[in-house]
Structure formats: C-alpha cells, structure tokens
Amino acid sequence: MPNMFRLEFDFPADESSLPIQEVVETYMHVLGMTSVKETYLNGMLPLWLYGYQKGDPRMQEAALGPLRTEGVSFIWPWFSEWRESFREAKLLPLSWLPFSDHVWDLRLGLRQERVAILSDVIWRTAWNRRLANQHAAFDDASRPRRSMAYTYDLRSDCEASQMVAARRLAGLVPGDWRTYPPYFPGDHSTVERVRA
C-alpha cells in the first residue's frame, strides 16, 4: 500500500511553469502579510503545494484549514484596509459577493471568508508571478525584432477591480511580479499583452 502522506512535486519542467522555489516564496510572501505563526505556515505548506500542483483550489483552501479552527486567530491588515476602503467607496468586489450580507460589519472577524480569499490571493500571486516571468522572457526574445510593438494592459472583472487597476496601471512594470495583481484581497485582475 502506498504511503498516503508522501508528497511528490512533479511540476512540468517547461518554461511556462513557475519553479517550485518561487511558488514557496510566493506562499511565504502572501502569508507573511498576516500574523499567522510560522509553525502554521510551515505545517500547511506541503498540502497547499500538493493542491497547487494538482490545480485544485479546494485542496489549496483546505490546506489552510487550521486557520479556521476556533481559537486560532490571525490579523490580516491588508484585508482590513481594503474592506474599509471599499466600504467608504460603496463598492463591492465581485469575489466578495458570497459574504456581502455581513462584510461591512467591522465587528466580524470573517474567519472563513478571509481564509478563502487568502488561499485565492496566494494562487493568484503565484499565477501572476509565472505570467510576469513569461512577459519578461517574451520581451527579451522579441527585443531584436521590434517591428511589432506591444504594450500591457490590466483587465478586471468588476467596477471595484477596474477602479483599483486604473490607479495601478502606471506602476505596472512588465516582468516584475511585484507590480502585478492582485492589488487587493480577492482581486481577479489580469495583465494582458496587447499589440500597440
């Protein structure tokens, strides 16, 4: 009988995949913006990576399950700041609709919802990091033949995302994943290369 707890990460070795070390760095980067203790970070990582490898968002979210446990609390200032900002602007991101009936109640910790969004932010940051690597490689490869000019644009799925993306577009540096979305928790904006 195979060992059910042995995890093997056999990511495809093509240039379109994000190297495993960069996936781990991204996971640590996003969770580093919270007050989640390092023991939880390290303990949740193998299952989260397995879900990432399998392309299963439910498994990735389930890996963060310990954060949903009663008695385990964490602070996520980035989420709190954006919740206040959207409340003042009277905007609701599309990804926040499932808990829209109570998102503005600042007394609520929104533990379940924050964990779901946190998992999504890790995945989207890794996805956009891979995309940034592809954009950098494309720009390097196409530099000698500049007959076709390309530019980059942000595509968003809702008014809240469009508002934020419009402000961030000027700071977008193709190939630098730190300037790519998500720009707020639950942001589903994407960077697209378009012919100029």
At 76-135, the pLDDT tens digits run 999 999 999 999 999 889 988 888 888 877 666 677 888 999 999 999 999 999 999 888
% of residues, the chain, pLDDT over 70 = 84
Q: How confident is the model at residue 13 (pLDDT cuts 50, 70, 90)?
A: very low
Give the number of other Cβ atoms within 10 Å of residue 52's Cβ.
25
pLDDT of 150 above 80: no
Residue type, 53: Q
3-state helix, strand, coil split of the chain in percent (to 5) is 55, 5, 40
- pLDDT reported for residue 123: 92
Tokens 């595509």 label which residue?
A: 155
The structure's pTM equals 0.82
- pLDDT reported for residue 136: 86
Computed over every residue of the chain, the mean pLDDT equals 83
Exposed e or buried b for every residue in 152-172, given b needs 16+ CB within 10 A?
A: bebebebebbebbbeebeeeb
pLDDT digits (tens, 9 = 90+) for 29-59: 999 999 999 899 999 999 999 999 998 999 9
